[in-house]
Each structure stands twice: as C-alpha cells, then as structure tokens.
C-alpha cells in the first residue's frame, strides 16, 4: 500500500464565506471504482483545497442470492484486505465491511458499532479532525454524529426508498433521522425538495452539473470515433449509462425497429433483461466503456436517448447523462422526466409514438453541434460547488448567530 500523505493542503483556512477550504471531509457514497457520478465530481474538486476520506458503499439494498450480488459481496471482501489507500491526491478510499440489511434493527446497531470503529481507525491514520461529514447514502444515518464532525451535509440525489430490492420503510426512517440532524440538505430535483424540506428548513435545490470540457471533446476535430462504431450504418442512435429496470428497454427496441437500416449503440452495464434489444440485428450492446472514451463515442452518435420509465424513482431523478449528451453537442430525446423537461433543451415524448416522432425530427439535423453544447457551458461542477458553498456559508452564519 502506498504511503499515506497526511499533510493538509496549502491555502487559507476556512471561513464562513469559504467554509469548504482546508477541511477534512468524510464522504459516504457509492464505490469509488464505479462510474463518475455527482459525488465523484464534487469530491475531486474539493480535494484541491481539502482532504477527503471517501467511504465506499455501506449498502442500502439487501442483496439477493443472484450471481451479481454474490459477486459484489465477494469483491467487497477482497477490497477489505486493503482497507485504506490514496487513489488521487488528497482522496483516500476506505473499503469498510458492513451488514447490508438495514431493515433489521440488530443490523443497524451492529453497523453503527462496526463501521464507526473502521472509519475512526482510518481517521486516526490520516490525522483527521473536526471533519465535515458529507453524506450521499442515507444508510449512513446510523453513523451521523459519531465522528466529532463540525458540520453534517446530506446530499440527496435520488428517492432511495423507490429502488428495487430496498427495504423502503427502513431507508425512509434512516433518511428522516439524517434529514433532521443535517446542518444543510442539498437535493438535485424539485420533487425531492417537496418531500425532504419539511424535515429540514435548511434544504436547497442544487441541480447536477456537467464535466463540460470533457464531453465538449466530442466536437474536437482531433477526437476519433471508436472503430467499433465508426463504420456502422447511419443514423446511429446512442445511449450510455447503467441499463437498469428504470430504463424502458421496450421503447428502445421500438426506436431500433423504426430504423432497421440504421444502428442503435448501447453502452453500459445491464442489470435488467435486455433480450428485446439483443434480438435485433441493428442493436449493438457494447457494454460499459471507460469514462474517458465517452466523448469519442458521442462524436459518432447522431442523436442520444434518455428513455426512462415514468415511476416514483425517475420522477425524482436528475439524469446526469442528459447534460453530458448536451455538452457533447447532441440532441437529446427523452421521456417526460421533470428534471429533463425543465432544461428546455431536450425533445420530450410523452408516449412511445411521440418519442419516436421526436427521434425522427432530431435526425433531420444529426450529429454533435457546437450551439447545443454551448447551452450547458455555465453548468459545470465548479459552479455547482460554488452554489453549495454559498448555501453552507449562509447556514453556518445563521447557526452561529442563533447561538450568540
């Protein structure tokens, strides 16, 4: 294991105006090795001026006996053999062990004791003190307040109780505890604000940002379209991201059938039945691709899809991929997800027929275009982090004033 760098980043100390400078930050999130999500982008930015202890997923869904869940548990056990490592400058990843059964009171009690011990041990090695506890996983409510944290932030980017395989009532109970304890609650969708703000008056909406310069590479003449799609018949209808049960696979199949002499390119890991796509000769299921390569694939797309089913989970979602498609200059055709419709830059289909018609219309002007990319230039993650820091400064100032 590489030597752990425990010195603090150079720079000014934190103030109420700049509360996210020269701090120790705990981050309870998904696994670091997963696709970069809002958490990844924000913590990478924060690591410029702070130290981050990223705690890999402690679960919120009870695993089954299927091959995928068993494989994930095995990987967790293997990762725990190297519990703490520096993955990037000032970002240290902890691989904790937990009992992923938050519906059971005994499991919650055990996790509080066991996880607290593991995290505290890592904090001692890094000489962390007075940390900010930045929570993305509601299951971490069992640990909130256990680390002498000066500030607790809960950033809610999904309605976690609506995920398949989750003990919904138990997660809601844990989340409610977290909401009440948090100094600041940050949500990524208006619908999440409606349900979370009654529990905490310091709740704010900060929508997702985008890694603009990265996806803008789709418009760079030097970017080369990957060979595996470069020679496919046009038009190329593209999708990237996790293919889970919230993705309308049947709708995607209908779109592919509409263009039998064209191609549909689907990038991402599948955790749901994709046989409706796999059976079609013009659909290319290429699996998960490295984040670094996505702009090159976008350059080869003629239009991009966000075909989410409409349900409680997706109505609360703010799909990261939509802004990424837009930054790449692509027209986006989406189902009527509120946080997509609110952008005002995507083509929305309320029915399958309307969705396909929007694809037809988008393909009249195919491929990436600079004017589309420019629409999200100001929505980078730096801007989003500045919003959060502004809200946090206001919250802490009000808190300090109330204690005088």
Integer Cα distance of 292 and 45 in angstroms: 18
Integer Cα distance of 398 and 392 in angstroms: 10
Helix, strand, coil tally for the chain in percent (to 5): 40, 15, 40
Q: Average pLDDT in the 110-126 region? A: 91
What pLDDT is attached to residue 60?
Answer: 53
The domain spanning residue 30 has which CATH number? 3.40.50.2000
246 closest CA partner among 324, 306, 289: 306
373 closest CA partner among 238, 210, 207: 210
262 closest CA partner among 286, 241, 287, 280: 280
CB of 177 closer than 8 Å to CB of 141? yes
Q: What is the tens place of the pLDDT at every residue in 166-194?
A: 777 888 999 999 999 999 999 999 999 99
For residue 162, being part of any structural domain is answered with yes
Integer Cα distance of 118 and 97 in angstroms: 8
Q: Average pLDDT in the 364-387 region? A: 98
What pLDDT is attached to residue 64?
Answer: 47
What pLDDT is attached to residue 298?
Answer: 98
Residue the block writes with tokens 């089954």:
64
Domain match, 127 and 223 both: no
Domain match, 345 and 242 both: yes
The DSSP bridge partners found for residue 333 are 305, 347
Report the domain count for the chain.
2
Kindly list the distances between the CA atom of residue 267 and the CA atoms of 38, 146, 291, in Å, as whole numbers in the listed order. 19, 40, 11
Burial class (CB in 10 A: 0-12, 13-18, 19+), 224: exposed
Average pLDDT, the chain: 90
Domain match, 187 and 46 both: yes
What pLDDT is attached to residue 69?
Answer: 42
Domain membership of residue 77 as a residue range: 24-209+381-402
Domain match, 241 and 169 both: no
In this predicted structure, which of 58-62, 85-89, 269-273, 339-343 has the lowest mean pLDDT? 58-62
- Predicted confidence (pLDDT) at residue 10 exceeds the cutoff of 90: no
Q: What does pTM read for this prediction?
A: 0.90
């Amino acid at each position: 294991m590489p030597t752990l760098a425990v010195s603090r980043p150079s720079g000014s100390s934190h103030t109420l105006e700049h509360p996210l400078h020269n701090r120790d930050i705990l981050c309870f999130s998904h696994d670091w090795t997963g696709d970069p999500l809002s958490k990844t982008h924000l913590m990478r930015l924060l690591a410029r001026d702070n130290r981050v202890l990223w705690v890999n997923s402690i679960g919120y869904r009870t695993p089954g006996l299927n091959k995928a869940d068993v494989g994930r548990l095995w990987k967790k056990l293997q990762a725990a053999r190297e519990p703490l490592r520096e993955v990037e400058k000032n970002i240290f990843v902890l691989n904790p062990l937990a009992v992923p059964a938050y519906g059971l009171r005994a499991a919650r009690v055990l996790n509080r004791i066991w996880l607290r011990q593991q995290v505290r041990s890592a904090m001692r090695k890094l000489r962390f003190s007075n940390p900010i506890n930045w929570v993305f996983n509601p299951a971490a409510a069992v640990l909130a307040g256990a680390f002498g944290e000066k500030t607790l932030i809960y950033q809610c980017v999904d309605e976690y109780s609506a995920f398949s395989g989750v003990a919904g009532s138990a997660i809601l109970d844990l989340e409610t505890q977290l909401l009440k304890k948090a100094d600041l609650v940050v949500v990524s969708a208006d619908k999440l604000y409606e349900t979370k703000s009654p529990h905490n008056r310091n709740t704010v909406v900060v929508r997702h940002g985008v890694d603009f310069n990265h996806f803008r590479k789709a418009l760079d003449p030097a970017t080369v379209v990957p060979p595996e799609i470069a020679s496919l018949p046009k038009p190329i209808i593209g999708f990237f991201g996790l293919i889970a049960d919230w993705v309308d696979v049947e709708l995607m199949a209908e779109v592919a059938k509409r263009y039998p002499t064209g191609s549909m390119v689907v990038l991402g890991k599948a955790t749901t039945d994709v046989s409706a796509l796999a059976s079609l000769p013009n659909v290319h299921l290429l699996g998960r691709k490295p984040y670094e390569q996505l702009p090159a694939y976008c350059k080869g797309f003629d239009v991009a899809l966000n075909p989410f089913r409409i349900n409680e989970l997706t109505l609360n979602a703010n799909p990261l991929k939509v802004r990424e498609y837009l930054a790449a200059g692509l027209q986006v055709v989406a189902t009527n997800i509120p946080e997509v419709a609110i952008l005002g830059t995507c083509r929305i289909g309320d029915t399958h027929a309307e969705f396909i018609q929007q694809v037809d219309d988008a393909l009249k002007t195919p491929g990436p275009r600079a004017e589309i990319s420019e629409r999200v230039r100001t929505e980078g993650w730096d801007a989003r982090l500045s919003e959060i820091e502004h809200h946090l400064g206001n919250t802490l100032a009000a808190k300090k004033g109330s204690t005088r």
